Amino acid sequence: MSKFFTDRLSSLVPYVPGEQPQDKKYIKLNTNESPFPPSEGVRKAVAEEASKLQLYSDPECTELRREMAKVYGLPEDWFVMNNGSDETLNFAFMAFADEKHPLVFPDITYGFYPVFAEINHIPYEEIPLKEDFSIDVNDYIGLGKTVVIANPNAPTGKYIPLSDIEKIVKSNPQNVVIIDEAYIDFGGESAVALVPKYDNLFVTGTFSKSRSMAGVRLGFGIANPALIADINTVRFSTNPYNINRLTSKAGAAALREQKYYNDNCKTIMKNREWTEKALLELGFEVIPSKSNFLFAENPDIDGETLYLALKEKGVLVRHFTKERIKQYNRITIGTMEQMQILVDKIKEIKGELGV
Amino acid sequence: MSKFFTDRLSSLVPYVPGEQPQDKKYIKLNTNESPFPPSEGVRKAVAEEASKLQLYSDPECTELRREMAKVYGLPEDWFVMNNGSDETLNFAFMAFADEKHPLVFPDITYGFYPVFAEINHIPYEEIPLKEDFSIDVNDYIGLGKTVVIANPNAPTGKYIPLSDIEKIVKSNPQNVVIIDEAYIDFGGESAVALVPKYDNLFVTGTFSKSRSMAGVRLGFGIANPALIADINTVRFSTNPYNINRLTSKAGAAALREQKYYNDNCKTIMKNREWTEKALLELGFEVIPSKSNFLFAENPDIDGETLYLALKEKGVLVRHFTKERIKQYNRITIGTMEQMQILVDKIKEIKGELGV
């Protein structure tokens, strides 16, 4: 920290993204990327747009929102597009939470929520998940606070049904309820269906997972036009051109090729089932997942030991040091070939450890 | 504004970007874009990267900073890359200004500065430019506040020499001095040369203007590693993956093709001289410019009238409604063909108005 850094942020602890080691080629199962490349139309659209980069992008994201409207079945002014769903979440925290509307989220969830709260000086409360890592819906009923729930949750993969989401939204009519659906396309039912019914529901999503575009940085918010306008007030006060021309074209093209991505999601769900079964057979406890990852622990192998041993063998998974989950690892679901290697390497490690 | 919008930001007036009308094809001289497309290597790099978009970008921007280091002649850890220089500026305001270190900038300058100050609740003071729109360096000596100066300034195009910048930096050792060099490549001398000498100097730049990449959204900050680390604390607390893979590759490729962009800058400077002379002959007062635009007024034609008449004739320039500059228009320098059309249309308008 330089001597010039503001006191306001001096206690800030930044988010730590999943490691991207450059020392050798890994099977990367640590950041929930898709194992599939973007669709043909995306690649074509990006290449075509490359000759027009001297011109600013459209700050209204007109084409992108038009395609969103077609896929999600709501009018264009119910969408806001951002530079990754991290930006959408940060803007939503800025717009809808403050001293009078503190934030509430589970103790085990996406690690960026407390960071966004800290940098924006928003008071927040973490509600412990139940013993089995599920959310107790009753904890969130009539709270009178700004609620943020990732559904499915990260890093557990646990999903709560839409009826529970609706109870939470309905019982907090004076506060915005933010549902972070980064992983909704792998078997969950989206809360977007409830958006027309509740003026306090704000749903966020991303192109990073189900649409194979982690490297494009495209996220979005879906809500009634009044909430969307609030996010745009923040957006036009920080970075109106946050979506560049290439991202915009890539996103629009992907939305026109939903079948490809839907098929990929089905494949990942199938591979997830296979991997879950294989891990159970190897003595793991596996949290039932509706996401593109599994959260698992083995009572005979320390979580960090397994993470390091897998890394040594060229397979990267994500390990968290937080006390409550440090015996677990989060494993991204990749291709069947990748999953087979993962399972083989775990078998090797078990043999080496004699467990 | 929805009833959920935080009181904290309720008085926020967002920045208004230059208009991007879709009704017909304009000669766009209103947002200081380059008239030249990106270089061949940029287009190739983007097309190649399009098949790897399922993977996250490198949050360290390793390749990009390596190329920056080669072009700017400083080590890699003296650079931070952001999603447009707007983001760099916003992060720098967040990091280096607060109640104890209020912001100071000219009354006529980039319109986003007061917006960034407002959204971050940073007190700020605007110091009037002199009658001829030049900065009085004495106003900024020993201020004990966080200074922001665009050099060349926008929308005037006025440039202050490096010796004056150095006086300001030297006389405010307890505060960061931010020099916004969005337009430095059109004839000015960069303050990057002073960065190794002053621990309180933070220089920002962009690929939007001289490098033909407004649509890519790539900006940067150059300073000693301690200040860069502070910006990274903010960046990793809001959006660690703010630079996507395509932007990263486009930027790195552009830095390897500096000759193309340097030649374009020379062409624009030549076209600027031609246009300035033509406007002077048409009775305009033109502020001497070291940027890729001219700021000009005609005593016989109201500023808004000229803007509207040019728009009617298919030429977009930028008009600001602020009292002190409302008789002026900011005209981006394009190709000679575009400049010829601009001059012809102004002649037509003069004829129609009988002035």
What residues of B are in contact with residue A238 (Cβ under 8 Å)? 86-87, 90, 116, 119
Residue B269: how many CB atoms within 10 A of its CB? 17
Q: Are strands B103-106 and B146-150 parallel, antiparallel or unpaired?
A: parallel
- Position A22 scores a pLDDT of 73
- Residue ranges of chain A with per-residue pLDDT less than 70: none
- Residue B100: name the closest of A121, A120, A5 by CA: A5
Cβ <8 Å between B230 and A31: no
CA distance B300 to chain A (A): 33
pLDDT band at B207 (very low <50, low <70, confident <90, very high): very high
Is 80 exceeded by the pLDDT of residue B22? no
Q: pLDDT tens digit string along B32-45?
A: 999 999 999 999 99
CA distance B46 to chain A (A): 7
A 118-147 near B (Cβ less than 8 A)? 118-119
Nearest chain A Cα to B94, which residue?
Answer: A6
pLDDT band at B203 (very low <50, low <70, confident <90, very high): very high
Collapsed DSSP state (helix, strand, coil) of residue B266: helix
Q: What is the mean pLDDT of chain B?
A: 97
Tokens 């209103």: give the residue.
B30
Is 90 exceeded by the pLDDT of residue B25? no
Average pLDDT over residues B270-282: 98
Q: Which of B2, B26, B176, B228 to mutate to test the interface with A (most CBs of A within 10 A)?
A: B2
A328-332: strand order across its sheet? A285-286, A293-297, A328-332
Rounded to whole angstroms, how far apart are CA atoms A229 and A225?
6
**With contact defined as beta carbons under 8 Å apart, do B97 and B175 qualify?**
no
Q: Is B86 exposed, middle or buried (0-12, 13-18, 19+ CB in 10 A)?
A: buried
Average pLDDT over residues B292-303: 98
Q: Is B194 exposed, middle or buried (0-12, 13-18, 19+ CB in 10 A)?
A: middle
Which of A1, A17, A215 lies nearest to residue B52, judging by beta carbons?
A215
Q: Regarding predicted confidence, which is higher, B46 or B19?
A: B46
Q: pLDDT tens digit string along B44-76?
A: 999 999 999 999 999 999 999 999 999 999 999
CA distance B233 to chain A (A): 6
C-alpha distance across the termini of chain A, in Å: 45
Nearest chain A Cα to B227, which residue?
Answer: A2
Q: pLDDT tens digit string along B91-139?
A: 999 999 999 999 999 999 999 999 999 999 999 999 999 999 999 999 9
Nearest chain B Cα to A39, which residue?
Answer: B51
Q: pLDDT tens digit string along B145-174?
A: 999 999 999 999 999 999 999 999 999 999
Q: Which of A8, A54, A88, A147 to mutate to test the interface with B (most CBs of B within 10 A)?
A: A54
Rounded to whole angstroms, how far apart are CA atoms B347 and B331?
16
CA distance A306 to chain B (A): 24
CA distance B135 to chain A (A): 25
- Position B321 scores a pLDDT of 93
Is B245 an interface residue toward A (CB < 8 Å)?
A: yes
pLDDT band at B324 (very low <50, low <70, confident <90, very high): very high
Cβ <8 Å between B87 and A236: no
pLDDT band at B23 (very low <50, low <70, confident <90, very high): confident
CA distance A353 to chain B (A): 33
Tokens 């027009």: give the residue.
A52
The phi-psi region of residue B253 (left if phi > 0; otherwise alpha if psi is between -120 and 50; otherwise beta) is alpha
Is B244 an interface residue toward A (CB < 8 Å)?
A: yes
Q: What is the pTM of this model?
A: 0.97
Count contacts between A and B (CB, < 8 Å): 295
What residues of A are in contact with residue B57 (Cβ under 8 Å)? 214-215, 217
Is 90 exceeded by the pLDDT of residue B143? yes
Cβ <8 Å between A1 and B54: no
Q: At what angle do helices B85-96 and B225-235 cross, to 10 degrees?
A: 100
CA distance B283 to chain A (A): 31
Which of A51, A214, A236 lies nearest to residue B56, judging by beta carbons?
A214
Which of A2, A46, A116 lies nearest to residue B50, judging by beta carbons?
A46
Is 80 exceeded by the pLDDT of residue B24? no
What residues of A are in contact with residue B249 (Cβ under 8 Å)? none
pLDDT band at B19 (very low <50, low <70, confident <90, very high): confident
Q: Is B21 exposed, middle or buried (0-12, 13-18, 19+ CB in 10 A)?
A: exposed
Is B229 an interface residue toward A (CB < 8 Å)?
A: yes
A 47-106 near B (Cβ less than 8 A)? 47, 49-60, 62, 83-84, 86-87, 90, 94-98, 100-101
Nearest chain B Cα to A207, which residue?
Answer: B54
Q: Which of B54, B61, B94 to mutate to test the interface with A (most CBs of A within 10 A)?
A: B54
Residue B119: how many CB atoms within 10 A of its CB? 21
**With contact defined as beta carbons under 8 Å apart, do A293 and A162 qualify?**
no
What six digits make up the tokens of A237?
């006060």
Is B40 an interface residue toward A (CB < 8 Å)?
A: no
Which of A28, A53, A226 lies nearest to residue B216, judging by beta carbons?
A53
Q: pLDDT tens digit string along B193-202?
A: 999 999 999 9
Cβ <8 Å between B230 and A54: no
Cβ <8 Å between B96 and A6: yes
What residues of B are in contact with residue A92 (Cβ under 8 Å)? none
Q: pLDDT tens digit string along B221-238?
A: 999 999 999 999 999 999
